[in-house]
Amino acid sequence: MNYDTTTLADKLHAMGELLNDVKKAVILRAQESDLAVSEHVISESAQLGVQLNQRRKELDIDLATLELQTGVSASTLKRLFKDPEQVKFGTVLRVANALGVKLCAAV
């Protein structure tokens, strides 16, 4: 078999460049993802309440509607938005789910 070594070398070089481009894209995507996650890190429970309330407002959902969607009274919703520690975690989770907010732990 007689291979054209310049053509093969050119193809290998091109493939190497493509792989480098893919590596750069993956690294950039990972950095963007880390940045997006760090913007939503909550270090105090009151921050969670504020973020849930902001999300409710972004979705233009009033307390009465959220009450109907979740079965959580408006007074409990107000306490949750002020300080989530005042309500059961199951209630926080139900409201977060209704608002499309995912609660997760990242290590």
Write the CATH number for 77.
Answer: 1.10.260
* Alpha-carbon separation of residue 71 from 81, 87, 89 (angstroms): 16, 14, 14
Look at residue 106 and tell me if it is in a domain: no
Range of the domain at 88: 45-98
For residues 55 and 90, state if they share a domain: yes
For residues 30 and 69, state if they share a domain: no
**Close Cβ partners of 66 (under 8 Å, ≥ 6 residues apart):** 56, 72, 77, 95, 98, 99
Residues 15, 68: Cα–Cα separation, whole Å = 57
For residues 2 and 25, state if they share a domain: yes
Is the Cβ–Cβ distance between 96 and 102 less than 8 Å?
Answer: yes
Predicted confidence (pLDDT) per residue in 56-75, tens digit: 999 999 999 999 999 999 99
Provide the whole-model pTM: 0.61
Is the pLDDT assigned to residue 42 strictly greater than 80? no
Mean per-residue pLDDT over the chain, rounded: 86
Mean pLDDT of 11-38: 81
Look at residue 107 and tell me if it is in a domain: no
